[in-house]
Structure 1
Amino acid sequence: MDFFTEYGEGNRYKIEEVIGKGSYGVVCSALDTHTGEKVAIKKINDIFEHVSDATRILREIKLLRLLRHPDIVEIKHILLPPSRREFKDIYVVFELMESDLHQVIKANDDLTPEHYQFFLYQLLRGLKYIHTANVFHRDLKPKNILANADCKLKICDFGLARVAFSDTPTAIFWTDYVATRWYRAPELCGSFFSKYTPAIDIWSIGCIFAELLTGKPLFPGKNVVHQLDIITDLLGTPSPEAISRIRNEKAKRYLSSMRRKKPIPFTHKFPNADPLALRLLERMLAFDPKDRPSAEEALADPYFKNIANVDREPAAQPVMKLEFEFERRRITKEDIRELIYREILEYHPNMLREFLEGTESTGFMYPSAVDHFKKQFAYLEEHYAKGSTAAPPERQHNSLPRPSVLYSDNRTQSTTNVTEDLSKCVIRDDARRAQLDSSSVGANRVPQAGGATRPARGVGSAERYGNYASPAADQYEQRRIANGVSPRSSYPKRIPTCKGETSEADRIDVRQTGQPKPYIPNKLPTTVDGRNGHW
């Protein structure tokens, strides 16, 4: 319960153990009591503390919804937050994977060539699907590849991914804060802005595959310069043509002034590896991005001849530009909150339908009266501060009826008796009104439809409002005086015997008590978050 705090849907899951922690929050394994399935629940804390972090979370959950593939981790559910406009944490339910590729490499020194082949095939098959959707992952590394004991791999963590829209399909400008330095393509090294292609992900896959073969990182650079040094130690000094295509001038000068290095044959670096595997690895680790194969071309390499199957290597539909319009404009924290909430609704079809139709009727298990009042106050603060006099929305959900009324002397009164007392009160009220109708001195009445009258709510002279008096108001005041209505209007004082009665002796002068507060209709609100309900 401490894990889920206010999230009512948390009752569905039985938390078992913590399986991961980070700056974002914590990941726990849990049992879904509805399906009997084991899942991983990622709790992300205070997601709106920084807009950049919230944007990364939005990007990840949106992409994982759009990219459904066996080699990409799946979001099964996202818990509905307790308030649309006030939530801070989110709970994302993933399929449970046992480990990640970093731990597999670290703990296993007995992986076979078949393991290497099957691992690389899955990674390239998932990457083909991602790239055909015009998405660049940009942060591929062993820790971002989940693994099971049956050798199944799944790509995860799309927080740094980007979408290349149809008007810029092959190259785009973005910051170079992408893959961890050890898995970063050379065209990204040393540049704050780079023009690059999906080949950056192919380079990262090559680095991961080399780490599988040797059990340790291939290019563990200590900084950008050292990274370029150890890359060129293996691949040799790049050709002048490749250097000329590097965008960053400092990196270009550094590589041009570098002493000439000869490439080291991959058969020397990886002496026990399959020659076909090394041939493909050498293609993926080409210094010039244009020399690297696409994921689809790599899958067609002879290395996968015995396991490749085009029918099991689907392509994706390109991601629609509208889905990532937020990437093209400056957005506020409130904008991000609304967009994340909209993504969460994708996992709650009934509420999504109401949201799209604009109805948003209550679909929650336990509507709260406190939230109804919160909604009313929020409405009044928003609208009355702007001068609006519109009444707040009607409350749509009432409390359960009570069978009796309790009194302080511990006696009870049935509903029938309460009704009779109200009837008597109405009769006495009507008699009082008739008595008031017979007198025109000190009357405080306002004409009603059908000729009925009742005590007014402090209708006074326009002079009370100071500078807001107008000629029309003066004419109206003169007509009231001519009709026998006193300009010294007052509030009726309640008599304990009956709510409808007023005492002539107990009238309170408005001018003595000051200007009355504006009358606000006594209407109960719906919810605190504009969704006409709570859960």
Structure 2
Amino acid sequence: MPQENAGGRAQAEQRKKNSPEMDFFSEYGDANRYKILEIIGKGSYGVVCSAIDQHTGDKVAIKKIQNIFEHLSDAARILREIKLLRLIRHPDIVEIKHVMLPPSRRDFRDIYVVFELMDTDLHQVIKANADLTKEHHQFFLYQMLRALKYIHTANVYHRDLKPKNILANANCKLKICDFGLARVAFNDSPTTVFWTDYVATRWYRAPELCGSFFSKYSPAIDIWSIGCIFAEILTGKPLFPGKNVVHQLDLMTDLLGTPSTDTISQIRNEKARRYLISMRRKQPIPFSEKFPNADPSALKLLQRLLAFDPKDRPTAEEALADPYFKGIAKVEREPSCQPISKMEFEFEWKKFTKEDVKELIFREILEYHPQLLKDYMNGSEKTSFLYPSAADNFRRQFASLEENGGRNGALNRKHVSLPRTTTVHSTPIPPKEGPAATSQAPQRIPTDQEE
């Protein structure tokens, strides 16, 4: 009798496997496509595992974002990030390869996002390498500005650029990630209204954001952040590690000198304006003194990036044309992006409910499932095909990994930027083999063809 029951179950399972639902599912989001390797990150957002995409052989990072609708602001951030990363695809911006289909359209709490896997991040590269060459410095800045040109021509401000949000590979490739705080500007003006929810890391925050200096701001906030990151690449230490806003302004003016009366007069925050007016007069420190070992042409560009007044900073496109990049800059490798449609981000200025955001996130997931998206757009969507879900299989696998892999003490990633592995410290490479950093950090500059 038990054998008969077992045979019946086997036949039922076989019928399921042969059903149209299973055929569909093997094409769209079947968990068997990915072979999980290990947990590489864990934080308040969930868990990240490295995996092999068995269709392509590529290594990927699968990020489980859990309880996404617990707080509406978190759900909006996730929606914003996955939408932006779909709309602004560029070699210097991290790519979402796939988003797994949830078990049902209405009843899901977690999502599984598949990214390209990067070796480490720029914070770890800087920390682990005291021997980055001038070629590394130049190529790192070139890639960051090239990404920024693309982002800004799409009318997007990143707003949270810092070394931990720039991913790195062993071949010197950098990619900007973590667009959760990014915003899209839709007016024709080069500036846009001040967003009150700006909470990015203070050390890389432009002076106009310290104390809400201006009622409007521009993409120059990201240019300042890139300047701070580049200075950190040159010295191995953060440039302005302020303990609070006042200390941050003190550090800025110690290096750059007291801002002009004209600049101070534009500051809308009366307290900040009074503080700068009352500050003792400071003379700027020559950058050649602050950065004694740096290429003089690098310092000329850095001084432009770190202008206290935002209108004095170059655009990313202007910075790319700087003489510092002679020999590596090519306009045809520095594309612009079409401005993002206002319709894509209507949720930013309308009141929305949890159900609204859930529907919008589901719609973004369907972008990675073309046939389902077509059915959805035609109004012929069915829900039966959502069973069984790859996400259900992954939930069990992640639970097992968290239980067994979470005890090794290596899960120290607390911030919410996109996935990366930990860095491996340097093994020196003989000079004849080319510019070296670490086995996980940069080792050589890629050729044009490799890019």
- TM above 0.5, yes or no, is yes
Deviations 1:249-272 (A, max 9, x none): 111111111111111000000000
The partner residue of 1:72 within 93, 100, 107 is: 93
Shift of residue 9, structure 1, vs aligned partner: 2.7
Shift of residue 192, structure 1, vs aligned partner: 9.1
- Does 1:122 find its partner at 2:143? yes
Which residue is equivalent to 2:347? 326
The 8 Å contact of residues 236 and 261 in structure 1, kept in 2 or not, is answered as yes
Name the larger-Rg structure: 1
Q: How does 1:420-435 map to 2 (within 5 A)?
A: none
Any runs of at least 4 consecutive aligned residues in structure 1 with deviations exceeding 6 A, and if so which? none
Q: How does 1:48-197 map to 2 (within 5 A)?
A: 48-175=69-196, 177-191=198-212, 194-197=215-218
- Does 1:278 find its partner at 2:299? yes
Tell me: CA distance 1:359–1:296, structure 2 relative to 1, closer, same or farther (3 Å): same
Which residue is equivalent to 1:17? 38
Distance in 2 (CA, whole Å) between partners of 1:224 and 1:319 is: 33
Deviations 1:367-409 (A, max 9, x none): 79xxxxxxxxxxxxxxxxxxxxxxxxxxxxxxxxxxxxxxxxx
Amino acid at match of 2:153: T
User: Structure 2: which 5+ runs fail to align?
Assistant: 1-27, 390-451
Which residue is equivalent to 2:66? 45
Shift of residue 167, structure 1, vs aligned partner: 4.1
Distance in 1 (CA, whole Å) between partners of 2:302 and 2:371 is: 48
Amino acid at match of 2:348: E
Shift of residue 364, structure 1, vs aligned partner: 2.3
Shift of residue 83, structure 1, vs aligned partner: 1.2
Tell me: CA distance 1:367–1:112, structure 2 relative to 1, closer, same or farther (3 Å): closer
Distance in 2 (CA, whole Å) between partners of 1:274 and 1:176 is: 38
Q: How does 1:202-213 map to 2 (within 5 A)?
A: 202-213=223-234
Q: Helix, strand or coil for the counterpart of 1:174?
A: coil
Which residue is equivalent to 1:349? 370
Deviations 1:114-158 (A, max 9, x none): 000000000000000000000000000000000000000000000
Tell me: CA distance 1:252–1:121, structure 2 relative to 1, closer, same or farther (3 Å): same
Shift of residue 194, structure 1, vs aligned partner: 4.3
The 8 Å contact of residues 102 and 386 in structure 2, kept in 1 or not, is answered as no
Distance in 1 (CA, whole Å) between partners of 2:203 and 2:126 is: 16
- Does 1:198 find its partner at 2:229? no
Q: Helix, strand or coil for the counterpart of 1:19?
A: strand
Shift of residue 178, structure 1, vs aligned partner: 4.0
Distance in 2 (CA, whole Å) between partners of 1:248 and 1:19 is: 43
Shift of residue 365, structure 1, vs aligned partner: 7.1
**RMSD between aligned alpha carbons?**
1.6
Deviations 1:168-207 (A, max 9, x none): 4422221262431000000000239842100000000000
Distance in 2 (CA, whole Å) between partners of 1:253 and 1:224 is: 14
Amino acid at match of 1:201: D
Q: Helix, strand or coil for the counterpart of 1:364?
A: helix
* Count of aligned positions: 362
Distance in 1 (CA, whole Å) between partners of 2:254 and 2:188 is: 38
The 8 Å contact of residues 19 and 29 in structure 1, kept in 2 or not, is answered as yes
- Does 1:305 find its partner at 2:315? no
The partner residue of 2:277 within 239, 256, 279 is: 256
Q: Helix, strand or coil for the counterpart of 1:16?
A: strand
Amino acid at match of 2:155: N
Q: Percent identity?
A: 80
Shift of residue 248, structure 1, vs aligned partner: 1.4
Q: How does 1:339-418 map to 2 (within 5 A)?
A: 339-361=360-382, 364=385, 366=387
Distance in 1 (CA, whole Å) between partners of 2:160 and 2:337 is: 20
The partner residue of 1:35 within 33, 53, 56 is: 56
Which residue is equivalent to 1:481? none
Q: How does 1:424-503 map to 2 (within 5 A)?
A: none
Which residue is equivalent to 2:417? none
The 8 Å contact of residues 203 and 241 in structure 2, kept in 1 or not, is answered as yes
Distance in 2 (CA, whole Å) between partners of 1:154 and 1:162 is: 19
The partner residue of 1:220 within 224, 228, 241 is: 241
Which residue is equivalent to 2:6? none
Distance in 1 (CA, whole Å) between partners of 2:117 and 2:384 is: 29
Q: Helix, strand or coil for the counterpart of 1:39?
A: strand
Q: Helix, strand or coil for the counterpart of 1:175?
A: coil
Shift of residue 12, structure 1, vs aligned partner: 1.8
The 8 Å contact of residues 103 and 388 in structure 2, kept in 1 or not, is answered as no
Tell me: CA distance 1:290–1:74, structure 2 relative to 1, closer, same or farther (3 Å): same
Q: Helix, strand or coil for the counterpart of 2:132?
A: coil
Q: Which moved more, 1:246-255 or 1:297-306?
A: 246-255
Tell me: CA distance 1:221–1:365, structure 2 relative to 1, closer, same or farther (3 Å): closer
The 8 Å contact of residues 122 and 168 in structure 2, kept in 1 or not, is answered as yes
Shift of residue 56, structure 1, vs aligned partner: 0.3
Which residue is equivalent to 2:315? 294
Q: Helix, strand or coil for the counterpart of 2:243?
A: coil
Amino acid at match of 2:236: G
Distance in 2 (CA, whole Å) between partners of 1:324 and 1:114 is: 39
Q: Which moved more, 1:30-39 or 1:211-220?
A: 30-39
Higher relative contact order (CA closer than 8 Å, sequence separation 6+): 2
Which residue is equivalent to 1:242? 263
Which residue is equivalent to 1:448? none
Under a length normalisation based on structure 1, what TM-score does the superposition of the two structures give? Answer: 0.66
Tell me: CA distance 1:286–1:353, structure 2 relative to 1, closer, same or farther (3 Å): same
Tell me: CA distance 1:176–1:356, structure 2 relative to 1, closer, same or farther (3 Å): closer
Q: Helix, strand or coil for the counterpart of 2:195?
A: strand
The 8 Å contact of residues 174 and 193 in structure 1, kept in 2 or not, is answered as no
Which residue is equivalent to 1:400? none
The 8 Å contact of residues 194 and 215 in structure 2, kept in 1 or not, is answered as yes
The 8 Å contact of residues 135 and 161 in structure 1, kept in 2 or not, is answered as yes
Distance in 2 (CA, whole Å) between partners of 1:116 and 1:363 is: 54
Distance in 2 (CA, whole Å) between partners of 1:50 and 1:193 is: 30
